[in-house]
Amino acid sequence: MRPVRIAVVGGGTGGTLVANKLASELRESVKRGEVEVHLFAERPEHYFQPANLDIAFKGADPRRFVRDERELVVRGVKLHLSPVNLIDLNDRRLSFNGSSLGFDYLVIATGSRAVPEVVEGLAESSYNFHTGQEDARRTWEAVSRFERGRAVVLVNVPHKCPPSPVEAAFLLDEHLRKRGVRQNVEIVYATPYTRAYPTHTIAEVVEPLFEEKGIQLVTLFNTDYVDVRERKVRSLEGEEIKFDLLITVPPHRGAEVITASGIGDEEGWVPTDKETLRIKGYDYAFAIGDATDIPISKSGVVAHLEAIVAAKNVLADIEGTGVEHCYTGRINCPLEVGEGRALFVAGTYTKPPERQEPSRLKYLMKRFFPNIYWPMVQGRFETLFDLYLGKPYTTRGGGK
């Protein structure tokens, strides 16, 4: 009799954590050969992606923020360092590297990808820190050389890590001040939103700080194309912004395997129930993190919290408890504002983020997170996270 087979596609924060949680919770069944947990990662390197801001605007060493995926998975996880080429939800089968694997349960954690190439002229004209460490390093090199002119931070949607463009503007300002050239540089922040941050309570904090630091805010700016020769960004609304240095948050799309498999919408996002995290129409398949079409922040913390919920629902199905775990929509994203201060954008589906003032303590909390990230994706410190964030789910059914 074939063991119950769980396949997790994607070796980022959410995928690694959900595979580790399942292997740990089912360790005895795994030992007896009754359950298999398979994790598919495209590459052996696992990156702490929030550190790209530090690489791009503080010159941090990229090597500090990478580990070998093989060292992060716990005993019982069968790791495949191979991209999945096709996901067949109906036949419950994955295709990869000339092979295939049938599954009983599936968790899609394929994340999102930056696609500057979908906007004419954007890839050729701009620097960004969302496509990976190498591009973040190139951004740092450009920022370090820049001494005079107009620097534009250009936001495109959708994108992961909602605070990141605002942080980029603040950290660019801080870097230029430290070098003593800020008075020679005009910083423009151009966003398609009606305010500096999508949530008005956070925008009420950010916008006065922009004004205080001399960062010019341009709202309702939806990028149409970039004129490479003239060094201008043109919007769909007909506005133009000239630049000497263009730092962009590119638009994002879902993973190519999602589109190739016919699972996602036109942008590659997986249709997902926002509470159970089940892929709509498939009770045995889940999606978490950036891969979903859930209208919520695409961030590492969300992937972490959703991984916990998805793992619990897979376990409940296997054990037949009848319990359903429902994600509350908990988010908790740090937003650094320069000068050693930060705030946290925290809320749920029913409770929007509240206004808060940046503080040194919140900054230190953000700086500490890279130290606990690696054990966190192995499933450790969950009690600490529950105490700080609260449980990311409610339960129904099963008499509980």
Residues 231, 277 share a domain: no
Question: Does residue 290 belong to any structural domain of this protein?
Answer: yes
Per-residue model confidence as pLDDT tens digits over 218-227: 999 999 999 9
Report the 10 Å Cβ neighbour count for 228.
13
Residues 122, 232 share a domain: yes
Predicted confidence at residue 1, as pLDDT, reads: 76
Report, as an integer, the average pLDDT of 200-206: 97
Sequence-ordered list of residues with C-beta below 8 angstroms from that of 316, at least 6 positions apart, any chain? 322, 323, 324, 325, 398
Kindly indicate the confidence band of residue 400, based on its pLDDT and cuts at 50, 70 and 90: very low
Question: Does residue 344 belong to any structural domain of this protein?
Answer: no
Question: Does residue 397 belong to any structural domain of this protein?
Answer: no
In the chain the first and final C-alpha atoms are separated, in Å, by 32
Per-residue model confidence as pLDDT tens digits over 58-90: 999 999 999 999 999 999 999 999 999 999 999
Would you call 237 helix, strand, or coil by DSSP?
A: coil
Q: CA 221 to CA 193: how far, in whole Å?
A: 7
**Count of domains forming the chain:** 2
Report the 10 Å Cβ neighbour count for 117.
12
Domain end among 222, 251, 280? 251
Q: CA 216 to CA 150: how far, in whole Å?
A: 11
Question: Does residue 142 belong to any structural domain of this protein?
Answer: yes
Could you give the residue ranges of the DSSP H alpha helices within the chain?
13-25, 27-31, 52-58, 69-72, 122-125, 133-145, 164-179, 200-213, 256-260, 300-319, 360-377, 382-389
What is the domain-level CATH number for residue 274? 3.50.50.60
- For residue 399, pLDDT beyond 60: no
Question: Does residue 382 belong to any structural domain of this protein?
Answer: no
Residues 179, 52 share a domain: no
Residues 241, 142 share a domain: yes
Expressed as residue numbers, the domain containing 129 is 116-251
Predicted confidence at residue 384, as pLDDT, reads: 73
Question: Does residue 378 belong to any structural domain of this protein?
Answer: no
Q: What is the CA radius of gyration of the chain?
A: 22
Domain end among 225, 251, 277? 251
Kindly indicate the confidence band of residue 2, based on its pLDDT and cuts at 50, 70 and 90: confident
Question: Does residue 351 belong to any structural domain of this protein?
Answer: no
